[in-house]
Structure 1
Amino acid sequence: MRPQTSDLRNGSTAAEFILVGFEKSSPPTRALLFTVFLALYSLAMAMNGLIIFITWTNSRLSSPMCFFLGHLSFLDICFITTTIPQMLTHLVTKNHMVSFVSCMTQMYLVFFLGVAECILLAFMAYDRYAAICHPLNYAQIMSRQVCVRLVCPSWIFGMINGIFLAYISFRNPFCKDNHIENFFCEAPIVIALSCVGPQFSMKLIFADAIVVLLSPMVLIITSYARILASILCRTSSSGRGKTFSTCASHLTVVIFLYTSATFSYMNPRRTHRPDKDEPFSLLYTIITPMCNPIIYSFRNKEMKGAMGRALGRGNLAQAESV
């Protein structure tokens, strides 16, 4: 039997929520999911942690892209830790309850870190544009001071946007139900449980997603449009291939993150189906943070060599780079 919601003085509202993601799965399935997600989480933490270590301690990795990559890995570690440990706990325990404050805090962190990452990826696209289209002035355009000034707004705007969206999601009492059909407190599903004007809150979330996702996307598209124009003007096919290779890792990360975030939050539907929401939630909460360091380490020769040396395989990394 489902627990009843509690009555507060400001109306009937839920004092706690129950996350029912994977609740209908059989015990063997949950055990398998626990093993898989624990392995993915461990891999993501190890890979991102290694990138942070080598980018922040290796003086030879002083390029703006490595600077941004270190911040991206730190965001990924924070982002994946916000949701996955709780999901792993719920896969092996019967108590899936989370308090009102915990749910709101988790949602704030997801918005904060997710928005900061979207903005950071846009600045990384601008960095690729400056490196490819203005190579002679690249050092001046993307100086360390400029990189710091670009990273700080991504954190600040993410923090402010997270506060705003968490307030929008929890400003109304919840009297319909306290069961969240997902493995973490995702905004569209939580808002649907409110008993006062959920449609208006959903429209605000949708409008915010348009601004937060499309504004960085405009910068990304503009940067790569100019990169493409610059590449097509080159006569050397080898030069074109090298340029495409340097951009491929960033484009792959952008596609992963923006595809999943768009389907999750830029959705005008009034209701969200769990069977469609959970795959996209998994994509941007665990798959993308895990893939980011792998994609960058294998596509970036400088990063691959540094990671090889950090892991004690310097000779192998040098042999592969020849």
Structure 2
Amino acid sequence: MTETTETTAPAEPAPVRNAEFKAALLLILMVVLIAGAALYLMYARGAFEATQRLVLTADDSEGVAVGMDVTFAGFPIGRVRVIELSPEGKARVLVDVPKKDAHWLRTSSIFTLEKGIVGGAKLRAFTGIPTDPPLPEGAERGLLVGDAAGEIPKLLAAARDVLANVSALTAADSALGQSLQNVQGVTDKLNGPGGAMGLIAGEDKKSRELLANANSLIVRADKLVGNADAKVFGDKGVATDAQAAIVQLNGLLADARLSLKKMDAVLDEAQAVGKNARVATEDLGALRADVDTNLRKIEQLVNEINRKWPFKRDPEIKLP
């Protein structure tokens, strides 16, 4: 008897309702998210911000790239939007500066492009006088380029010239070499037997003659000094006479000093006599005042007696 096994098929999943609608809604949501992110990035990058156009001109645009920032005091105030070539063959760098940062740029502002040996180029703005008028819309300014790497060939050429000049100076046939040889010759002559005299005289014979004349002059000078010493400092020399005169002068000065002392004593006595005379004069003045007072009293007494005297004579003389 054969047994038959029955196989059951797997159950099919239930269909999703409105699958097409949900898929479309998901796609729309993704598109909206992507668009929102893009708009946010554009807003963050200043795409919707009011800007002012600035044109910078330079001989070439090496080192400048679109999107590079223009900094002022280390802060970005603008961004490079377009780089183009002018009809004159110069590079034109179009920079967009936000309106809120445009007040930092003035008519006297300077713009530089700095190219370093290491790192990228930098666009910088400098304003020396903040009170100048603001930079107008679409203003065109020259770009000052400072390339440190470009100065290296000039420095190498200058160093090469300096080395060539040093080599020419230190050559054996140069003016400096000949001067050093002359100095060496002069040093050899100074170190020689003739010394400085040999250097001055030149030849040996002339040097010996000059030395002999110098020796004779020295001998004469010694004799002259000896005679002068004898005449000045000898027993009967000028110095001895001067010393005796000084001794006599000292004696005269001592006598004059004694005379002055005696005169001082006489003056002291005269001053004492003058003081006594002054005291006596003062006493005489007081005595005279007393006498005058007594005389006035006597005169008053006499007048009073004459007035009161009954037998007073008539002093008048009557003529017949």
TM-score by length of 1: 0.20
Relative to total residues, which structure has the larger helix share, 1 or 2? 1
Relative to total residues, which structure has the larger strand share, 1 or 2? 2
Higher relative contact order (CA 8 A, sep 6+): 1
